[in-house]
Structure 1
């Protein structure tokens, strides 16, 4: 059964798309599995939902106890103002399951404008309360009577609300915060305290690996590493960092490496009062460095009482290798990867790839290293950074290198969920798009907060011709990245791919407010504004794109798009000639320029050499563009039909020079 976006029951409003809850018009923070539980119950009102059904739908692939379910139900009841004795909303059917009692309406439109969830406010400690200066006696007496009158009015109002609203009244606060919000954390970059301060890469990689381990825990929200690092550099206090990131806990630490030993100090801090929930000094030989990351992630997840049972949790946070040398090269690769994302330097991407290659060579059973190494072998033909870290060789040679590494990741994976992701990548490169979409969807059901997985889904769903799935991926990427404080431009791109042009522009505006100087967001926002028909808005942001640090072909493409949108064909032709004259332009910008100017014969001629069995995995990457027509390429079209995929009818750029 297809459900609409909003589920409405009395004062309860559930937005299933953005995963938000309102009660009496007030936003209520209810994240993680508690939200999923309420959604399942509201989708089947007045119907018994058994415990087994709830476990299957809310905790797929995870073994949890009935106490976890009971805790989630308690969190939901607290959020919606219900009580188990007697229940007005959620009824317990003892020994069997739960039933949502009120009638539920569904709608794709919000019944009335809903407020944006405000930033949680800290409660003011008693000692910080302001004490008023005593007034003269007459004013004091007037104040007493004024307070008595106000109190009477409040009591009358409260009594009326209790009579008229049987589900209880909201507390006088801007937002209700329930227990699920407590399971959130930011990992601040570990400090390098080594004598020569030359182990920064090790500290960065260890930080990244701990963060990645924690991010895989289903009911733990982990803040963006990029934003956390920025706050650390700014000198923010623990409380300031937690407030900015919207998390309840902060992990900070340091690394000292010398004389064949590694000393790591880590501490988990509750932001509300600065209390140290857990701290540990790891002083170990270098050969034992792997266990530090594992023990740290395990201890944190246990301290925050996540839903994972200890055995499964311990297995999930394992690094995947027993080779210290391989693990250190893997950490080095993670550090370089992050620098590439932060700075955009192509050299850092190449160094990351070299580190991953060394890691997989040192330990051929290291699945994560094989997977990371695969990324630089194939799949960048249509990306903004299409030249970053791409290895030499023909398409067939690079595809063979990619598949060798993905196969090695599959063969050595010890995590069933990760295996789904690896298999999806393999199926996609084999042009089995429907199978790839099925596998990746199953992976995201188990890892719903994996932004990288949602980004992969944008491409796979485009290949499979499922624009609705592309739209869902765009929505999740935007929501999760905004929540993490690190908006990703891929959400804007995916919105355009899904033909959701107004949403693309809306998301671009929101991301620009948060990251006005981010070059990728500027570039994708400019294109989104043109797709949405906001030519003036695109013109205003163009100077920032042109002055940015993106590759020259991307900056020229942005200027060319604006020229076409404004009817300046002569300028657009000149810009196209400059793109074609670049020393080593990839096919992508030249094809985009030909399509934009209306030279479809030239555009087809550029891609036609890719329409051969051994090069289809490169050609398929152009299917992300709305204006790409797979029907013009017989080999690709035949493979799509054989896979049961109907080629999507192209949508021309409304701002093109045609």
Structure 2
């Protein structure tokens, strides 16, 4: 058990003897992070080399391999790396920029070729986080505070929930008031359970327990279970009166609780509060061993559903516990840690830390479907936002394999199905293949705001605007204070050509979070379609995301007849994003009347796998190309129509 006092993580370091001078600073930095490192320099004269090495290789939490122009030729290093790969604990580093050899390129290699040996530097910290992840431990440093970061339009079309539910409401959340109608019978908000263990590092565990209870309740089609993003806006506001919380969220009931952990002992207290009266139709306290946490979660969800049934006509027994889970406590703990890192959405380091935790969970339980799905989504986020073109194919293939495993293990888990569909779109640009899993996700995930948002985006991209409207409306009903959900509603309206609705919905998103990426761009796009170019330009100027902002400014300037300004914006776009903005360059060309050049850009985007093409079928910026045979052929090849 690594829930209380985490023991030191252990590493087997594999490297070429010629690289020993480069290996020593790595060893020093890992040890400075509290990691115990085995390397061949520890062998004493009387040690038998092979048995000692094999024992260290088999017992280490992680195998760190230093790839270089010499080590890729070493049979010893390759054999040790192979064992790390087989044990699912490989952490590959390149010390001189050399690519990993064939057979190891499906792993994200950490480049430390420009690292100067300083412990705590970002390059080596990625390796430290990965090692802690494989050891099932939290990183030695506290998690960074969440912060809003720039998100590209590539991410906007569905980066695994990073944008779909991203951007929790800030000071402007109170501008949106849930209506009285939202407090329907059977509606409930599950607040994050408080951690009473005296260790803030255990917050992820107590909050993870409440999230698992929420997920189980959400499977009950007769209940309306609010999504966590809206809840967090109120929970962080520090409102103690649960009646006031219910009123703010527009729900009939609030489930709150606490977790106190002491060694192997676990005490979970939980209370269901009636939002109208402030009374508690059900409350319970559980004293269990930590290994019983899974049964307790199910028992609480069952009791709450029963209490709701007694209080309303809409309750009822949930449809069993959430599929795709695990009964392995170590795997569960690593999964919750991964979720905590992922929820930060604070940059590459947080996503890679999440990935390491999900992989640690899978090393403990390879049949943990929810962890497979989470790993697939995280791989896509990392690849789309931070990956190099040379890494795309192997990373996307890896994500697709994880998503398929999730579906095979838990076909009734909505997030597994939506993840598979999303990987087909984001990783493979195969919208035809995505259709079936997204339809299954839509049927299974009516209680999951993230799933419904993903389904809404896919429907909007595919031209099924009625389905998109229903899915997005459901997502907003489940998560009314989530600015990301309102932004996606604006995007869907733009796809359907409903310019006024797109503007209204995007403005609502901005009222919830004035710093939200993408919303001003949606308004600008709608204004362009109405011929309001000056107003559109003002919206693009206010857009925080550089990719969206520069694309919009180039289009607005071109439509206003200012060729010089259009060129400045387009040149800056290319200088800053290069091939990653190929699709956006096509949008600019299409809106500038350069249809042939726009098509050339789109074909190049297809060649390099630019996922912006998923927007093409309903993108109003590409309207000038719709009658072209080559454009129709491109869309057909992507699986549209």
- In the superposition, the TM-score normalised over structure 2's length comes to 0.61
Deviation at 1:304, TM superposition (A): 0.9
Deviation at 1:369, TM superposition (A): 1.0
Task: With a CA cutoff of 8 Å and minimum separation of 6, indicate the structure with the bigger relative contact order.
Answer: 2
Looking at structure 2, the residues matched to 617 and 518 of structure 1 have their Cα atoms a distance apart, in angstroms, of 22
Partner-residue secondary structure (3-state), 1:199: helix
User: 1:188 is matched with which residue?
Assistant: 191
- Alignment-derived partner of residue 563 in structure 1: 557
Is the CA contact 1:215–1:222 (under 8 Å) kept in the aligned structure 2? yes
In structure 1, the partner of 2:231 is: 228
Out of 483, 507, 524, which is 2:505 matched to? Answer: 507
Larger radius of gyration: 1
- Confirm or deny that 1:554 pairs with 2:559: no
State the Cα distance separating 1:400 from its structure 2 match: 1.3
Asked if the contact 1:368–1:409 (Cα under 8 Å) also holds between the matched residues in 2, the reply is yes
3-state SS of 1:518 partner? coil
Question: Map of 1:94-109 to 2, 5 A cutoff?
Answer: none
Q: Would the aligned equivalents of 1:194 and 1:256 in 2 still touch at CA under 8 Å? A: yes
Structure 1 residues 320, 572: closer, same or farther in 2, change over 3 A?
same
Q: Look up the SS of the partner of 1:457 in the other structure.
A: helix
Paired position in structure 1 for 2:435: 437
Which sits farther off after the overlay, 535-544 or 246-255? 535-544
CA offset digits 1:533-556 (Å, max 9, x no partner): 4556545545542xx4x4x33333
**Distance (whole Å) between structure 1 residues aligned to residue 563 and residue 210 of structure 2:** 50
- Are 1:333 and 2:338 an aligned pair? yes
1:402 to 1:633, Cα distance in 2 relative to 1, 3 A: farther
Q: Deviations over 1:502-556 (max 9, x none)?
A: 22123223333444443343343333343344556545545542xx4x4x33333
Contact 2:537 2:553 in 1 (8 A): no
Secondary structure at the aligned position of 2:236 is classed as helix
Partner of 2:201: 198
Q: Does 1:577 align with 2:571?
A: yes
What is the rounded CA distance, in whole Å, between the counterparts of 1:531 and 1:572 in structure 2? 17
Task: Give, in whole Å, the separation in 2 of the partners of 1:475 and 1:571.
Answer: 39
Give the corresponding residue for 2:34: none
Give the counterpart of 1:207 among 189, 204, 210: 210
Q: Distance in 1 between matches of 2:265 and 2:429?
A: 48
Shift of the 520–353 alpha-carbon distance from structure 1 to 2, 3 Å rule, reads farther
TM (norm. structure 1) is 0.60
The equivalent of 1:399 in structure 2 is: 396
Match of 1:608 in 2: 603
1:219 is aligned, of 217, 222, 226, to: 222
- Does structure 2 retain, via aligned residues, the 8 Å contact 1:209–1:331? no
Tell whether the 8 Å contact from 1:268 to 1:300 is kept in structure 2 after alignment.
yes
SS in structure 2 of the partner of residue 242 of structure 1: helix
The Cα of 1:318 is off from its aligned counterpart by 5.4
**CA–CA distance in 2 between the matches of 1:422 and 1:227?**
22
What does 1:375-394 align with in structure 2 at a 5 Å threshold?
375-378=377-380, 386-387=384-385, 393-394=390-391
**Counterpart of 1:349?**
351
Partner-residue secondary structure (3-state), 2:385: coil
Alignment match of 2:265 (pick from 258, 261, 267) = 261
1:288 aligned residue: 292
Q: Answer whether contact 2:223 2:315 (CA < 8 A) is retained.
A: no
Q: How far 1:329 sits from its partner (Å)?
A: 1.8
Q: Distance in 1 between matches of 2:429 and 2:199?
A: 50
